[in-house]
C-alpha cells in the first residue's frame, strides 16, 4: 500500500513482521472470486444470449453480443463484489494471528454484515463494475468475432 516503497523491501518487511504466510493473505477468497467470476460470466452470457434470441428480435451479431455481455457484466459484478470487499479487507489487515480482526473470509463477511449491514458487502461495487463491465463486453464480443473468423458455429 506504500507507493514510495520498493517491492522487495516491502516483502521483506511483511515477512519479518507477519511471517511468510502474510504474502498469501486473501488468496483463498481470491480463488473463490475468480471461480465465481468465470462461472457467472460464462453462464450468464450464454443464457442471456439464448433468451434474447428467443424473446426479442435480436439475431446473431454485434447487438446480441453487446446486450448479452452487458448483462453478464452486471450479474458477475453482483456476485463478485462481496468477495472483492472481503478479499481486500483480509489482505489489508495487519498483525499476528491473535491481533487480526478477521479469522477467514466467512468470518469477515459475517462481521461486516452484522456491524455494517448487508449493503456493506457491495462497497466499491460501482468501481468494480466500471472495470468488470467493459472487460466482460470486450472479452465476449472479441470471442464471438474470433469464433466467426475461425469458422466455428454459434449457439
Where are any strands of DSSP class E within 1-155?
none
Q: Cβ distance 130 to 74 under 8 Å? A: no
For the chain, the structural domain boundaries read: 7-150
Phi-psi region of 36 (alpha: psi -120 to 50; beta: other; left: phi over 0): alpha
- Reported as a pLDDT band with limits 50, 70 and 90, residue 13 is confident
Q: What are phi and psi of 64, to 5 degrees?
A: -65, -45
- The predicted structure's pLDDT at residue 138: 96
- The predicted structure's pLDDT at residue 30: 81
- The predicted structure's pLDDT at residue 93: 81
- The predicted structure's pLDDT at residue 2: 67
Q: Cβ distance 144 to 65 under 8 Å? A: yes
User: Quick one: average pLDDT of 4-26?
Assistant: 83
Q: Which of 15-24, 64-73, 122-131 has the lowest mean pLDDT?
A: 15-24
Would you call 1 helix, strand, or coil by DSSP? Answer: coil
pTM: 0.78
Taking CA atoms, 111 is separated from 77, 97, 105, in Å, by 22, 17, 10
pLDDT tens per residue across span 121-144:
999 899 999 999 999 999 999 999
Amino acid at each position: 500500500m506504500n507507493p514510495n516503497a520498493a517491492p522487495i523491501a516491502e516483502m521483506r518487511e511483511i515477512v519479518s513482521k507477519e511471517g511468510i504466510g502474510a504474502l498469501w493473505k486473501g488468496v483463498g477468497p481470491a480463488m473463490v472470486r475468480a471461480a465465481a467470476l468465470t462461472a457467472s460470466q460464462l453462464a450468464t452470457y450464454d443464457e442471456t444470449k439464448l433468451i434474447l434470441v428467443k424473446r426479442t428480435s435480436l439475431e446473431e451479431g454485434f447487438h446480441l453480443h453487446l446486450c448479452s455481455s452487458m448483462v453478464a457484466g452486471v450479474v458477475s459484478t453482483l456476485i463478485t463484489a462481496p468477495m472483492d470487499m472481503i478479499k481486500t479487507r483480509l489482505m489489508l489487515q495487519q498483525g499476528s494471528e491473535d491481533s487480526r480482526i478477521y479469522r477467514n473470509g466467512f468470518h469477515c463477511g459475517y462481521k461486516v454484515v452484522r456491524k455494517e449491514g448487508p449493503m456493506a458487502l457491495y462497497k466499491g461495487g460501482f468501481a468494480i463494475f466500471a472495470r468488470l463491465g467493459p472487460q466482460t463486453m470486450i472479452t465476449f464480443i472479441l470471442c464471438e468475432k474470433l469464433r466467426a473468423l475461425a469458422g466455428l458455429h454459434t449457439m
